[in-house]
């Protein structure tokens, strides 16, 4: 009678050594860091006129905050 060994290897599907669980963890972490870096860059460059005109003033909900009314003479 042949017995199965008590400890058998567990096979997991992976791509280049990264399993689905590992990829899920790193995608979530990368998304959070990327969002933080994007928001920080927007606040750091919010005083640059080109950034104000091309991006910040065209933001749907907060564009009014960066709009500058021209003084008419």
Q: Is residue 29 part of a domain?
A: yes
Q: Is residue 14 part of a domain?
A: no
Give the pLDDT score at 72: 74
Which residue segment(s) compose the domain that 44 sits in? 20-66
From the centroid of its chain, how far is CA 19?
21
56 burial (CB, 10 Å; 0-12 / 13-18 / 19+) is middle
Give the pLDDT score at 34: 97
Give the pLDDT score at 40: 93
Distance CA 19, CA 42 (A): 34
Q: Is residue 34 part of a domain?
A: yes
Give the pLDDT score at 32: 96
pLDDT in tens, 15-63: 787 888 888 888 999 999 999 999 999 889 888 888 888 888 888 888 8
Q: Is residue 37 part of a domain?
A: yes
Q: Is residue 58 part of a domain?
A: yes
Residues 15 and 9: beta-carbon distance below 8 Å = no
Q: What is the mean pLDDT of residues 6-16?
A: 79
Domain count along the chain: 1
Instruction: Report pTM.
Output: 0.57
Residues 66 and 49: beta-carbon distance below 8 Å = no
């Amino acid at each position: 009678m042949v017995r199965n060994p008590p400890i058998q290897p567990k096979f997991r599907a992976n791509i280049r050594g990264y399993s689905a669980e590992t990829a899920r963890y790193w995608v979530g972490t990368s998304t959070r860091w990327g969002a933080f870096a994007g928001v920080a860059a927007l606040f750091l460059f919010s005083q640059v006129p080109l950034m104000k005109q091309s991006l910040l003033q065209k933001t749907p909900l907060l564009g009014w905050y960066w709009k500058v009314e021209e003084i008419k003479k």
